Amino acid sequence: MFKILKTENKARRGEFETVHGTIQTPVFMNVGTSAAVKGGISTMDLREVGCQVELSNTYHLHIRPGDDLIYRLGGLHKFFNWDRPILTDSGGFQVFSLAKLRKITEEGVSFSSHMDGKRIFMGPEESMQIQSHLASTIAMAFDECIENPAPYDYVKHSSERTVRWLYRCKAEMDRLCALPDTINKKQMLFGINQGGTYEDLRIANMKAIAELNLDGYAIGGLAVGEEADEMYRIIEAVEPHMPYDKPRYLMGVGTPLNILEAVHRGVDFFDCVMPSRNARHGNLFTWHGKMNINNEKYYDDPRPIDDGCGCPACRHYSRAYIRHLFKAREMLAMRLCVLHNLYFYNELMQKIRDALDAGCYESFYQKYAQILDKRSTT
């Protein structure tokens, strides 16, 4: 159940109760695509950096090690030792972005695995079955992730099919949750809004999927190359038609500025590989802006990455040392920087929640929107 505790204009402070614990929103989900965050980050580390929700991917776990294996071992929570909520993406994005020689029909998608070329079929029922085996807290509906931009007629046809697929997802999820051998009989289902950058298609799709009274709703198909202003325009068009009393999830977003802007427009859930991916190349987020630790000016800098940061890297190591690790190509460099960025994102969400609790999100938003997207000068 989702409970809105406080609002400030469109921004919402809430709590989402699940079988694996209560999620404080707005929240950023830390992405561990194949049941691990890249950079050598364990679930013990995720607890230390304040992660509330871990996100794993249906497609990748189906390919390797196989959802049957994870099911036999007791589900994803036991598999990688995590006692907090997990959201599993449906695999739709990966099918359409990674898989080769795909063929889309009303039934689903036939495609070749990006790993070994093996032919695989995935449709709404198969996606729900895999996610039921994984026993995640929240399952995402199977949808078609179209390229952006795409012709209006194709987007219309695709978004209508996504609605039909959602009905099949819900029917299959209801069936699976009633089976005696299902690990998580209280698994939740989020629907996904599609429609490209066409406002009328987005609104029609949102109205249609809202009729199913699901546990939550996502805006998908954005953050795939369009300008940020385009993304904000679509959020503003769709938001009034999203159920008020259900969580709202903006998939694959994004930068700290994107998050501030989307919270400002009424979004509750976020995920992105950006903090971990950027960190592995030395690109770091701080409260005084972005920085690259490989820069020559940090050669002999004794300060932590970010003064006052409570992450393991900042508590124990200097900029000079972490830069040295990168230059020496030590794996520890990536690990420390990923820990820092994840801690920063989770702390950002905590500060957003604190600002909403205090009724001062607008001033927080105005202040940090000017800082977080710029290059640090310190």
Between CA 251 and CA 150 the distance in angstroms is 19
Between CA 69 and CA 263 the distance in angstroms is 38
Catalytic residue, from 67, 215, 268, 271: name it. 271
Strand arrangement, sheet containing 109-112 = 100-104, 109-112, 119-122
Between CA 125 and CA 54 the distance in angstroms is 23
- Say which residue the tokens 């998050």 belong to: 259
Catalytic residue, from 89, 143, 215, 268: name it. 89
The pLDDT, as a whole number, for residue 145 is: 87
Tell me: pLDDT of 95 over 80: no
Active site residue 215: no
Q: What integer is the mean pLDDT of 294-298?
A: 98
The pLDDT, as a whole number, for residue 147 is: 83
Pairing of strands 119-122, 109-112: antiparallel
Between CA 68 and CA 91 the distance in angstroms is 16
223 or 144, which is more confident?
144
Between CA 369 and CA 378 the distance in angstroms is 18
Lowest mean pLDDT, pick from 93-97, 175-179, 264-268: 93-97
Tell me: pLDDT of 114 over 90: no
The pLDDT, as a whole number, for residue 99 is: 64
User: pLDDT tens digits, residue range 15-58?
Assistant: 999 999 999 999 999 999 999 999 999 999 999 999 999 999 99
Active site residue 153: no
Q: How confident is the model at residue 253 (pLDDT cuts 50, 70, 90)?
A: very high
116 or 71, which is more confident?
71
Q: What integer is the mean pLDDT of 106-111?
A: 92
Q: What is the DSSP letter of 376?
A: P
Average pLDDT of the chain, as a whole number: 96
User: pLDDT tens digits, residue range 35-45?
Assistant: 999 999 999 99
Q: Which domains are seen in the chain, by residue range?
A: 2-272 (3.20.20.105), 279-368 (no CATH)
- Say which residue the tokens 């032919």 belong to: 119
The pLDDT, as a whole number, for residue 288 is: 97
Lowest mean pLDDT, pick from 90-104, 168-182, 318-332, 337-351: 90-104
Helices (DSSP H) in the chain: which residue ranges? 43-48, 58-63, 67-72, 76-79, 92-97, 124-134, 152-177, 199-210, 228-238, 256-264, 274-279, 312-316, 319-327, 331-358, 361-368
The pLDDT, as a whole number, for residue 4 is: 98
